[in-house]
């Protein structure tokens, strides 16, 4: 028997969450499935490959992280806690994040390949790194690292 696709796994886990009465897990998985379906319609494909599903999950995790920051800043800890729980559910499906050392290595490689020497060439370096990392690193982290290296 072949391994089920990631989308099929998400559906089966959604069913289990429904049977268990786990509302937070169920809500997070429904949102992810909705995001996947919207992306399929946008790209006009029958079913997304697993790597694109992982990218969609990564975007959902990032949305949760941004919401957590906003809720914490506003003093809404109950909503921030709900978002944290959803982020934990979704993080399983997101691509694994690269370590700081791996990102630093990619930045060094990008700077050597593009010949960047000033902040004006930040876009070239960012494009190179983000293309190689493919959702495995936050752009803000890369940008900060590149700016430090280029001496801003």
Rounded Cα distance between 122 and 111, Å, is 9
Q: Where are the domains of the chain?
A: 6-91, 100-150
Class of domain 6-91: mainly alpha
Give the span between the Cα atoms of 93 and 150, in whole angstroms: 34
Contact 125, 114 (CB under 8 A): yes
72, two tokens: 């914490």
Read off the pLDDT of residues 21-34 as tens digits, 9 standing for 90 and up.
999 999 999 999 99
2-49 residue pLDDT tens: 568 899 999 999 999 999 999 999 999 999 999 999 999 999 999 989
pTM above 0.85, yes or no: no
CATH match for 100-150 among 3.30.1320.10, 1.10.3720.10, 1.10.1660.10, 1.10.10.410: 1.10.10.410
């Amino acid at each position: 028997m072949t391994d089920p696709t990631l989308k099929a796994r998400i559906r089966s886990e959604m069913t289990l969450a429904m049977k268990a009465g786990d509302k937070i897990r169920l809500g997070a998985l429904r949102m992810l499935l909705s995001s996947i379906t919207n992306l399929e319609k946008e790209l006009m494909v029958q079913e997304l490959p697993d790597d694109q599903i992982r990218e969609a999950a990564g975007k959902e995790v990032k949305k949760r992280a941004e919401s957590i920051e906003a809720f914490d800043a506003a003093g809404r800890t109950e909503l921030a806690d709900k978002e944290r729980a959803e982020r934990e559910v979704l993080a399983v499906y997101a691509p694994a994040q690269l370590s700081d050392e791996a990102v630093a290595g990619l930045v060094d490689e990008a700077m050597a390949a593009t010949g960047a020497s000033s902040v004006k060439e930040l876009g070239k370096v960012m494009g190179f790194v983000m293309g190689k990392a493919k959702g495995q690193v936050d752009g803000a982290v890369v940008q900060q690292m590149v700016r430090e290296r280029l001496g801003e």
